[in-house]
Chains A and B, each alone.
Chain A
Amino acid sequence: DQQVKQNSPSLSVQEGRISILNCDYTNSMFDYFLWYKKYPAEGPTFLISISSIKDKNEDGRFTVFLNKSAKHLSLHIVPSQPGDSAVYFCAASGAGAGSYQLTFGKGTKLSVIP
């Protein structure tokens, strides 16, 4: 049972345009969401997060939107740059015991075309 879903395995975007990566979750106990970026042969690096008490969090070119009623979040990258080409993982954690565990989606490979 996949609790965090990234339904698009890959996405191609022209340099300078907006990249939108989507993530859906099924567990209503999740209250904190993170995006990680991963280059080949490297470990994932934290990109941006959002708490369930917010619906938007912004950090430079990266913005994460959360729609709790739809159990959906998205990562917007504007403008996209070739260096953004990587695999992006959505992750979620919940309240209570074991809240430090993260449940990851399967990832979306973003290719930014120069």
Chain B
Amino acid sequence: DVKVTQSSRYLVKRTGEKVFLECVQDMDHENMFWYRQDPGLGLRLIYFSYDVKMKEKGDIPEGYSVSREKKERFSLILESASTNQTSMYLCASSPRGRGYNEQFFGPGTRLTVL
């Protein structure tokens, strides 16, 4: 059974803290993605990676960075958390190549920044 896992389901952090969100997939997928979901705004792409050590900015990268040291793991980093980063964070993965557009999502991390 294919799986994308995220390190935490719920997380509460203080303003200014450095926050790490971890994502692991066991499908040997090349592509990995980080989104945030907010009511009325849908899913917005933060960063994505199409290979180890490669990263590309999505639509809303400000305030975030990412790390992909291994194929199966993609980390999202909030360098200095702010209250406007309170959100649901979703990780996804997909295989490379045409015809493989379906992305597989993890369960999400609900982050609250106080």
Contact = CB atoms under 8 A, between A and B. Distances in A.
B108 A34 contact: no
B102 A34 contact: yes
Given A93-B101, A99-B101, A106-B42, A43 B94 contact: no
Contacts of B107: 41-43
Interface stretch (B43-51, B64-72, B76-84): B43-51
Contacts of B44: 104
Interface in B28-48: 31, 35, 40-45, 48
Given A32-B101, A34-B102, A100-B96, A44 B45 contact: no
A101 B48 contact: yes
How big is chain A's contact interface, by range? 20 to 34
Interface centre among A9, A46, A105 (most CB of B within 10 A): A46
A34 B102 CA distance: 8
B42 A46 contact: no
Given A41-B107, A102-B101, 17 more contacts: A6-B42, A41-B108, A41-B110, A42-B108, A43-B4, A43-B105, A43-B106, A43-B107, A44-B105, A46-B102, A89-B42, A89-B43, A99-B101, A100-B101, A101-B45, A104-B35, A104-B42
